[in-house]
Amino acid sequence: MQTIALSPYIGSHRVPRARRTVGLQDGQRAHLAPPAALSGLSVRVLDMATEQALIQGLRQHAPMDAERDLEPSAGEMESLKDRLGMVMAIQRGDELVATIRFIPCGHGVTLAEKRWAEATRSKEGFGARSWEVGRLIVAPEHRSMALLRACITLAVQALVKASGAQHLHASCSPLLARLYRCFGFVTEKVIQSENGVQHVLIHARVSDVARALGFVPAPYVRPLQLYVNGCALPQKTRYMKTV
């Protein structure tokens, strides 16, 4: 998959040292995002065949240099990754606030499987029920730590409820790796490319993300399998209302 995209602290803010919690002074305790940050927010999974235009503007903010440093063909696989993954839009009313994408391991398209294979092969955290996080982009006018926490909370809850995901991971810069420690992620490995660019593989159990953000993961709801004359209905028709 892709590197986590566009921290709200890049450009106008400095990411604090790793031993400090983002946005806090030394000695202060971290608190959950205030209710106001979650107020009015909703998240939904997009049908990228028909709704790609909704997030196209935000996607233009996604930096690709680090990804292409590890995977030169990264841009060519965007459509495939969108189809394999879950692309979400986070909105407040009709206003788009952020977008994020999760891609499951097992299809051979994530960076963890392609460029970090020596570090991830045969590890539970990068196998079944492990999803790569990427394309997390917050609209410039909405960037704040409280809103970022709220967006990740909603998105992870939706992912777990829909897929039963147990692990999350991403390939990112050292800057973003420090930021994501606040959300329960830990560094799995650091490498330096032939171009001298440092890349960090981060990982988290969903339970650790939930603990860091202060929410209880929603239970996984397994889709109801319907049969007609002994044949399973296709996925897209399983939820059709019948009369």
Helix (H, G, I), strand (E, B) or coil at 48: helix
Q: Per mean pLDDT, which range of 14-18, 159-163, 168-172 is the poorest?
A: 14-18
Q: What angle do CA 93, 95, 97 make, to 5 degrees?
A: 110
Question: Which of 1, 38, 14 is closest to 171 using CA atoms?
Answer: 1
The alpha carbon of residue 215 and the mean position of all alpha carbons in its chain are separated, in whole angstroms, by: 16
Q: Which domain holds residue 102?
A: 35-237
Average pLDDT along the chain: 78
The answer to whether residue 191 scores a pLDDT higher than 70 is yes
Task: Give the β-pairing of 95-104 and 186-192.
Answer: unpaired
Joined tokens for residue 141 = 């006018």
- Residue 69 in any domain: the answer is yes
User: Quick count: other Cβ atoms within 10 Å of Cβ 180?
Assistant: 26
Joined tokens for residue 21 = 């919690």
Question: Which of 148, 159, 181 is closest to 38 using CA atoms?
Answer: 148
Residue at 3: amino acid letter: T
The answer to whether residue 226 scores a pLDDT higher than 90 is no
pLDDT confidence band for 5 (50 / 70 / 90)? very low
Average pLDDT over residues 105-132: 85
Average pLDDT over residues 6-23: 33
CA dist 108 and 73 (Å) reads 14
Partners of residue 172 on adjacent β-strands: 200
The answer to whether residue 196 scores a pLDDT higher than 60 is yes
Average pLDDT over residues 176-180: 93
pLDDT of residue 236: 41
Total domains in the fold of the chain? 1
pLDDT confidence band for 15 (50 / 70 / 90)? very low
pLDDT confidence band for 218 (50 / 70 / 90)? confident
pLDDT of residue 36: 56
pLDDT tens-digit readout, 19-61 = 333 333 333 333 344 455 567 899 999 999 999 999 999 998 8
pLDDT of residue 98: 96
CA dist 30 and 22 (Å) reads 9
- Residue 24 in any domain: the answer is no
CATH number at residue 40: 3.40.630.30
Q: What interhelical angle do 145-163 and 206-213 show, nearest 10?
A: 140
Task: Give the β-pairing of 130-138 and 167-172.
Answer: parallel
